[in-house]
Amino acid sequence: MVKVAALSGRLATAKGGVALGSSLDAGIAVVALAPFVAAALAPFVHRFTGAYTGWLLAFVPASIFVYLLGFAQTVTGGGSVVHSMEWIAAYDINLSFFVDGLSLIFALTISGIGTLIILYSGAYLAGHHHQGRFLAYMLAFMGAMLGLVLADSLLALFLFWELTSITSFLLIGFDHARQAARRGAIQALVITNIGGMFLLAGAILVQQLTGTWEMSGVRALGDVLRESTLYVLVLICFLGAAFTKSAQFPLHFWLPNAMEAPTPVSAFLHSATMVQAGVYLLARMSPSLGGTDVWTNVLVIFGGVTLIWGALGALRQTDLKQILAQTTIASLGLLVLLIGLGSTYAIAAMVVYFLAHAFYKAGLFMVAGAVDHEAGTREITALGGLAEKMPVTFIGAAMAALSMIGLPLTVGYFAKEEMYLGLLGGDISTWLVLVVLVAGNALLAGVAILIMIRPFLGEALPTPKKPHEAPIAMLAGPILLGAAGIVVGIMPDWLGHDVLGPGAGAISGSAVESHLTLALDVTSPLLWLSALTWALGVLVYRQADAIRTVLRRIDNAIGWTADTLFDAVMFALIRFSGAVTRLLHHGQLELYLVVVFAAMALALFGPMLAWGGLDWIVPTAELGDWSKRLALPALAPYEWGIVALAVIGLIAVLVAPSRLVAILSLGVQGTAVALIFLLFGAPDLAFTQLMVEILSVVVLTFVMTRLRLDQRDHRRFEDWARDGTLAIMCGLGVSLLLMLVLNGTLDKRLSDLFTATSVPIAHGHNIVNVILVDYRGFDTLGEIAVVMGAGMAILALLRRRKGPTVAVPPKPAAKRSRKPRKAAS
């Protein structure tokens, strides 16, 4: 069942694929599933360990991180690891995992930052009543995210993709007593789930076009998708998924609203994981879908707009978390733009920028949370001089901000260098992209300086709480991540060989040589572009307040945003469904029945007329010969008697002077039908029919006792004519259909099989019963479940009719209290 294979990441070129043992392989699945197990245990762990829950649970992501490091050697050698488990064998669907440079960078980021976040959450929510639940959601989200980046099967990818949406819904709405949190959660769920549907459609399309669910298999096929006539459709599906998840303009608005989540959630989901899933998907599909003009244009344009939009949005805000959320939108735009460019430099820049962003953004979010936690506010205008009181937090913030600005000796520097490198000396459109990049980076640098200086330096302002240093669990994240941003920044060789090479190689599909160096070359235009960016960044910082005023004025002038549009659409949807419900669910039983029987008549006559069924029953040639058609069947006198009974019953229903008589007459008619069944060799049917008739008479009588039994219903002629017509149509339709069936030759294969095998293999002489309980027992099981469900619905209706206001006095008998219906009523 477990297939063990080691594939080379670059199937055609690399020779260095290292075969790995099966134990290591199966571990990938464990990596993706272990957090879910931990999540299930988290509430119990919290109950027993209290304040130490965070420290204890952090071992799970930490050990995953260490375990994943074990793959590093294989992956940097150009290899990849595959693990596949049987999932739905009937459809040849496997739960397959795949680790190459790209997956490994993402997975290490997720588990590494995840460790710090779990630690941080333990301190941030210390003493919170639902901390166990929160950590459970966090770990489940981490599992979903790890599964997403490690999955090879498109369906597994979709599954984990949706799981991230659902867990993020739970996390954003964690503080569910607040309306804003609920709204943010629902909005994120709606938008990302629309993307999920796109992804599912795309996955199915790809499978139909290539015949494989595995993305590694699709990549190996090369240009199949690009050359397909459905290429644009496939592209739309994947872009729809990626743009919603990664908050690209104009679908970005859910991300700022998701800031209603507790800060650890934002630090984890909205920096380096959840929102990066879209970027990951684009990078993953880049070898199969990328490189075309459509791809480049769409990604570069959307990414560029998102970059500038998010960077400007950040300057508009004063809330630290909102500022960071907007810069995340900008960074996501930047990453999408780089993937769209698709050149070796752009891809290399994307990989390095992803890493740099993960380090500094998660760190800054944690800093924002720590400031909020200890000073009581996140308003940047209300904060100042915190560096004295919270020096360690300040160091963490500064290290992250320096990387965000992109100064030398940080990893952010290399990201910026690399993206400019690919754009030098191109045509006019390349220059345009370069201008956008410089502008975006400058704006982000300005924001970074703002975040670093405004709350921490300058005059100390009074805050709601007396600020003091955060606990160590909350400092570990910013400090370690900030330090990582610097340490990686001074090791360009390692960064180039162990991160950039495998990561960019996996995206572009060919080996990528690193050329990162610490040396500053004053003759290179790159340095001057960087210097320009920094200078502009300082300018933006100095004018931040003025820019904010202008941007807010523009906002007010426009008056509406994508956010308000979303609300309008949602309300329109609710109103529309309300209108549809009122139209279809009008509550008039009579009309329901008219619709049901009219549809039945239509279903009976439509096909019969369309395919000339009537002609088959009565060939037009024989129409003249009426006597032949009118010949009476040869029935014995007692048989005529039963037929007469049925007719009498029918007429009695129609002319009955009171309701009671009508009900009883209907019973007479039904009994006559049962007798007919009995005469013509269907004893089971007759038996059942008889019992159903008796019971329906009883039940109808009960129902009617609520009305008046001794009355006759006076109906308007129009109603009478309409119902009569429908009744005749349905009756005639069924009769004609039966005649049609009898005219054809019956396919007797099934009945022959049942007759032949009923006794030998099913040990029963009553074939009808054997069919019901054995041959098609599964159907019967469904049917009895439906019977019971219908029964419960009827009981609910009956109970409702009595009205909830009717107070039933409590019954003293102990035996009664066990009956749910009594308790409920």
Partner 1 sequence: MNTVIFRTLAPLVVAIMLVFSVYVCLRGHNEPGGGFIGGLIAAASIAVYGMAVGVRAVRNALYVDPMAIAGFGVVLAGASGLLSLFTGSPFMTSIWLYLPLGEGELPLSTPMFFDIGVYCVVFGTLSAIALSLESDREEDL
Instruction: Tell me: does residue 56 bind partner 1 (CB under 8 A).
Output: no
Least distance in angstroms from the C-beta of 680 to partner 1: 14
Quote the DSSP letter at residue 384.
Answer: -
Least distance in angstroms from the C-beta of 793 to partner 1: 10
How many residues of this chain interact with partner 1, rule: CB under 8 A?
49
For 122, the token pair is 């333990």
**Euclidean distance between CA atoms 182 and 260, whole angstroms:** 9
**Euclidean distance between CA atoms 754 and 775, whole angstroms:** 9
Peptide bond before residue 250 is cis, with ω within 30 degrees of 0: yes
Instruction: Tell me: does residue 706 bind partner 1 (CB under 8 A).
Output: yes
| Binding piece for partner 1, criterion CB under 8 A, among 4-12, 15-23, 392-400, 773-781 | 773-781
Instruction: For residue 84, report the phi and psi dihedrals to the nearest 5 degrees.
Output: -135, 135
**Euclidean distance between CA atoms 277 and 158, whole angstroms:** 11
Instruction: Tell me: does residue 754 bind partner 1 (CB under 8 A).
Output: no
Instruction: Tell me: does residue 716 bind partner 1 (CB under 8 A).
Output: no
Instruction: Tell me: does residue 626 bind partner 1 (CB under 8 A).
Output: no
* Nearer CB in complex with partner 1: 603/788: 788
Instruction: For residue 7, report the phi and psi dihedrals to the nearest 5 degrees.
Output: -105, 155
Instruction: Tell me: does residue 804 bind partner 1 (CB under 8 A).
Output: no
Instruction: Tell me: does residue 770 bind partner 1 (CB under 8 A).
Output: yes
**Euclidean distance between CA atoms 183 and 189, whole angstroms:** 10
One of 381, 549, 705, 711 touching partner 1 (CB under 8 A): 705
Instruction: Tell me: does residue 778 bind partner 1 (CB under 8 A).
Output: yes
Least distance in angstroms from the C-beta of 600 to partner 1: 24
Instruction: Tell me: does residue 769 bind partner 1 (CB under 8 A).
Output: yes
Question: SS3 sequence, 601-667?
Answer: HHHHHHHHHHCCHHHHHCCHHHHHCHHHHHCCCCCCHHHHHHHHHHHHHHHHHHHCCCHHHHHHHHH
Least distance in angstroms from the C-beta of 806 to partner 1: 8
Instruction: Tell me: does residue 763 bind partner 1 (CB under 8 A).
Output: yes
Instruction: Tell me: does residue 756 bind partner 1 (CB under 8 A).
Output: no
Contact (CB, 8 A) for 594 and 722? yes
Instruction: Tell me: does residue 699 bind partner 1 (CB under 8 A).
Output: yes
One of 521, 627, 765, 814 touching partner 1 (CB under 8 A): 765
Instruction: Identify the three-state secondary structure at position 8.
Output: strand
Contact (CB, 8 A) for 363 and 400? yes
| Binding piece for partner 1, criterion CB under 8 A, among 387-395, 403-411, 749-757, 795-803 | 795-803
One of 66, 698, 727, 750 touching partner 1 (CB under 8 A): 698
* Nearer CB in complex with partner 1: 517/757: 757
One of 233, 691, 721, 753 touching partner 1 (CB under 8 A): 691
| Binding piece for partner 1, criterion CB under 8 A, among 19-27, 39-47, 730-738, 794-802 | 794-802
One of 694, 737, 739, 740 touching partner 1 (CB under 8 A): 694
Q: What DSSP assignment string belongs to 129-197?
A: TTHHHHHHHHHHHHHHHHHHHHB-BHHHHHHHHHHHHHHHHHHHTSSTTSHHHHHHHHHHHHHHHHHHH
Instruction: Tell me: does residue 781 bind partner 1 (CB under 8 A).
Output: yes
For 197, the token pair is 């549907």
Q: How far apart are the first and last CA of the chain?
A: 54
* Nearer CB in complex with partner 1: 539/772: 772
Residue 766's CB: how many other CB atoms inside 10 A? 13
| Binding piece for partner 1, criterion CB under 8 A, among 428-436, 500-508, 721-729, 801-809 | 801-809
Instruction: Tell me: does residue 197 bind partner 1 (CB under 8 A).
Output: no
**Euclidean distance between CA atoms 405 and 321, whole angstroms:** 18
**Euclidean distance between CA atoms 611 and 630, whole angstroms:** 25
- Directed axis angle between helix 659-679 and helix 683-706, to 10°? 170
Contact positions with partner 1 (CB under 8 A) in 629-688: 683-684, 687-688
Least distance in angstroms from the C-beta of 670 to partner 1: 13
Contact positions with partner 1 (CB under 8 A) in 718-747: none
Q: Which residues contribute to the site for partner 1 (CB under 8 A)?
A: 683-684, 687-688, 691-692, 694-695, 698-699, 702-703, 705-706, 762-766, 768-770, 772-774, 777-778, 780-781, 784-785, 787-788, 790-792, 794-795, 798-799, 802, 806, 808, 815-816, 819-821, 825
